[in-house]
Amino acid sequence: MGSLTHLSNKGEAHIVDVSDKAETKRVAIARGEIVMDAATLALAVEGQAKKGDVFGVARVAGIMAAKKTHELIPLCHPLPVTKIAVDLEPDANLPGVRATAEVSVTGKTGVEMEALTAVGVALLTIYDMLKAVDRGMRIEGIELVEKRGGRSGEWRRDEMDKNG
């Protein structure tokens, strides 16, 4: 396990100096889910939610959140992201919605926080749009699935789960 890069030698929080790092293509994929009553999911899928298009609004919210991650997470660098894709998949077996976000950049630091933020805000938006009929919804399992690029190279959750 590496050292905490956001702490100075004195233990003070600071933003990491990435000026000496090489610019590379970096990609991060995150996922999470929101669990709800089956009737609530049906409302969203059928487009019957009073606030409108649940999936369209949540997708745009996730995209906007990824672009503004540096404004929400104090020690994140502002990044010129080149791709943000937010996918929302209704799943009757949950019942609920599975969210996945993929974020890319060519830069000196990764986009893991942007992908995680996109998923979190997309799911929070679904909650907001449906809370009038189901306040018991649960947001669960927000996690990084994969990252590529940079000094540390590739990392995949499925490989980590197998190897401990």
Between strands 155-156 and 138-148, the pairing is: antiparallel
Catalytic center residues: 128
Taking each helix axis from N to C end, the angle separating 54-67 and 112-130, rounded to the nearest 10 degrees, works out to 150
8 A C-beta contact, residue 110 and residue 28: yes
Residue carrying the six token digits 């669990």: 35
Q: Which two tokens stand for residue 88?
A: 């929302």
What's the farthest any 2 CA atoms get from each other in the chain?
55
- The type of residue at 55 is F
Task: Name the burial class of residue 85, with classes exposed (0-12), middle (13-18) and buried (19+) by CB atoms within 10 angstroms of its CB.
Answer: middle
Q: Outline where DSSP puts E strands in 9-137.
A: 24-35, 83-91, 96-107
